[in-house]
Amino acid sequence: MKITKKTLSDNVTLFTISNGWMSFSSMNYGCTVTNLFVPDKNGNPTDIVLGFKDLEGYKNGKGSLGAIVGRFANRISNASFTLDGKTYQLDKNDGENSLHGGFTRLEKQVWNATTFEEEHRAGVIFERTTTEDEQKYPGNLTIKVSYILNDQNQLFWNYTATTDKATPVNLTNHSYFNLAGKGSVFNHELTLDYNKILEVSENLIPTGNILSAEGTAFDFSKKKSIGQDIDQISKKIGGYDHCFLTKAYETGKLESVGTVSEPSTGISMHIKTNLPGIQIYSGNWLEGTGKGDVTYNHHDGICFETQDFPDAPNHPSFPNCILRPGETYDAQTILEFKNS
């Protein structure tokens, strides 16, 4: 295991962790994963996450490329919720709704960072306290984000948090993956282990209903390309941007979610999580200029955002998303990489 550091500005450092087969880089600006190199079936290192070419790109860019999002990832309807008899009004930054924490984003903040190196794993740990004034959520939330690589080619994304007042919490990483390194993700093949989704409105707000995906465009119970049925989804939505349930919805434990692979490179990524949902977003409105001055087009990346259910504070029937003083939020995701 090897750790290297690069200074990007007075208070921003880029950390690279390598196990000799694969590597990732992340910086303490937004806990952002900037690069993830995995060798393809011919041994050629392939950067499989989208990003910007420099720090200024991340500061000015949109789309949360590679970054942590929260305090509540995804959408909260009408940008409000009621907790313990009090109603909280959030930022309306997605029409009438609040998305990924509103206007003051965790991804645009500088975090404290420390690294560790052990015999079989190494990583970087980011820490920060977000106050109740930042995003209008109740309480001061102390967050720890850990990105860890081991010698089994597993990348761990772990999030823990504590609070001094009851608050909704839902943290996730918003990396856009492209296992071919560039171009459309329509040829990526996906298999999911749990065949249910949340029903949503045209504005992507859950209705509260859980639906079987069998026989629909959302059915990935057998290996299927991302592009095969994407045109069946509303043009207003533009593609996949839906919360698929995981086995952890039933067990509350770390469970297999599924596998995504890319035939031309042979790179595959197997996902595990202890969270009840995974928002799969097919980069429907992706645009801009990225690393290597590449122009990103719609569907050039796909996100696999393990998380609690969107709008959970407004749906008592959804899994609990409220963290209270004395409790610890504990979200775990494991990405395992192979090539063949």
CA dist list (Å): 290 to 62, 67, 138, 282: 11, 15, 36, 17
The SS3 assignment for 72 reads strand
Backbone angles phi, psi at 220, to 5 degrees: -120, 30
Catalytic, out of 107, 134, 174, 242:
174
29 CB-contact burial (10 Å; exposed 0-12 / middle 13-18 / buried 19+): buried
Number of other residues whose CB lies within 10 A of the CB of residue 171: 28
Cis preceding linkage at 128, omega within 30: no
Catalytic, out of 134, 255, 262, 305:
305
Q: Which residues pair with 72 in a beta bridge?
A: 170
CA dist list (Å): 203 to 206, 282, 311, 315: 9, 16, 12, 16
Catalytic site residue 174?
Answer: yes
The rounded distance, in Å, linking the Cα atoms of 55 and 31 is 13
Catalytic residues: 174, 305
